Amino acid sequence: MERKIIYSAVQPSGNLTIANYVGAIRNWVALQSDYDCFFAIADLHAVTVRQEPAELRRRTLELAALYIACGIDPEKCALYVQSHVSAHAELCWILNTLTYVGEASRMTQFKDKSLKHAENVNMGLMDYPVLMAADVLLYQTDLVPVGADQKQHLELARDLALRFNNRYGETFRIPEPYILKGSARIASLQDPAKKMSKSDENPNASVFLSDDRDTILRKFKRAVTDSGNTVVCAEDKPGVSNLLQIYCSFKGCTVPEAERAFEHTGYGDFKLAVGETVADALAPVQAEQQRLLADKSYLSQLLKQGADRAFYAARKTLSKVYRKMGFYRGE
């Protein structure tokens, strides 16, 4: 039986948070055994915002090492750097000819990033969702793990696939969203009404996968709680509820179990326990990442292996696209 194809990518821009780990990377580990997975380091997407070249190169390798340290197996999936497979950019150009300006300008992320980077509103920002559509459609993807902030982009990918198929004949599979079961929504430690973000200006709002133990404990000690002194998950206790979700995500227990464990615990000791649980869970990941980064030639070899696999699958799709559109290929 043919396995379904999953595609997902993360930008190598800024440190990843525990929310990225719990909501995305850790779930990929489970998916790679049951699906044909393409996991990309989305460096082409990253340059829509100005990047320091040396930093971009460093973070790309760090992210590759982090993927593997978290359990992504390059033998089971295609783990590669997006820019190493030129078909992403080629298909993006083709899809641009099918994308209406109104569609691209309505994208929420384009509006948000244009406000944040008013000095650098470039065409790449507007074209970001079209490149994302190319990423997904290249691999005849069946399922795309998405969060709420990416659903609009997946809808565009579906629309463009249908538009191409209707105009040129059946070519692309129509991707469906893959809703990850049991993924907790991890919020900011300083404002639980917002999601935890790697771009948050408050340094105490997010816990990064690269944070050392002392930094992790300090951030949790400063995390906002709520009025009262009971550790329970409730609508009127967003701060405590967020900390409980984090604790359960890293401890592997249910919220009721955690509530019972902290039934007679004050907020100070509770926050310390959450911090220690997170630090303990991240320690082996950080150690393995550093071990991998010490052998850059080995990492490069694994990424080339993933790019070769991705190139083969992408080229099949792109060749079909060029043929359907009438491009002369000298055949």
Is residue 231 included in any domain, yes or no?
A: yes
Q: How far apart are CA 112 and CA 226, in angstroms?
A: 30
pLDDT at 149: 60
d(CA 153, CA 129): 6
Residues 130 and 243 in one domain: no
| Pair (279, 300) in one structural domain | no
Band of residue 72 on the pLDDT scale cut at 50, 70, 90: very high
Residue 178, strand partner residues: 145
Output the pLDDT for position 272. Answer: 96
Question: How far, in Å, CA of 155 to CA of 133, rounded?
Answer: 9
Quick one: 42 and 82 in the same domain? yes
At residue 5, the pLDDT reads 97
Q: Are residues 95 and 135 in the same domain?
A: yes
Are 47 and 66 part of one and the same domain?
yes
Mean pLDDT of 295-318: 97
pLDDT of residue 112: 67
- Both 24 and 164 in one domain: the answer is yes
259 & 276 share domain: yes
Q: Both 14 and 32 in a single domain?
A: yes
Cα separation, 134 vs 131, whole angstroms: 5
pLDDT tens by residue, 260-295 = 999 989 999 999 999 999 999 999 999 999 999 999
The total number of structural domains that make up the chain: 2
**Residue 330 domain flag:** no
**pTM value?**
0.89
List residues with catalytic annotation.
113, 195, 198
pLDDT tens for each residue of 138-191: 999 999 987 656 677 789 999 999 999 999 999 999 999 997 765 678 999 999
Residue 26 has pLDDT above 90, yes or no: no
pLDDT of 216 over the 80 cut: yes
> The domain that contains 130 carries what CATH number?
3.40.50.620
Query: Backbone phi, then psi, for 279, in 5-degree steps?
Result: -60, -40
Looking at residue 110, what is its pLDDT?
A: 66
| Local confidence band at 331 (pLDDT 50, 70, 90 cut-offs) | low
Residue 204 lies in a domain: no
Instruction: Indicate if 97 and 224 belong to the same structural domain.
Output: no
Whether residues 272 and 165 fall in one domain: no
Q: CA 62 → CA 71, 181, 282, 296, distances in Å?
A: 14, 28, 15, 10
Ordered alpha helix ranges (H), 2-51: 18-20, 26-31, 43-46
| Whole-number pLDDT of residue 15 | 82
Residues 142, 251, single domain; the answer is: no
Q: What distances in angstroms separate CA 166 from CA 99, 163, 177, 248, 287, one per listed residue?
A: 14, 5, 21, 47, 51
Distance CA 299, CA 171 (A): 34
Q: What range defines the domain where residue 36 resides?
A: 5-179+296-325
Q: What is the pLDDT of residue 151?
A: 76
State the pLDDT confidence band at 48, using cuts at 50, 70 and 90: confident
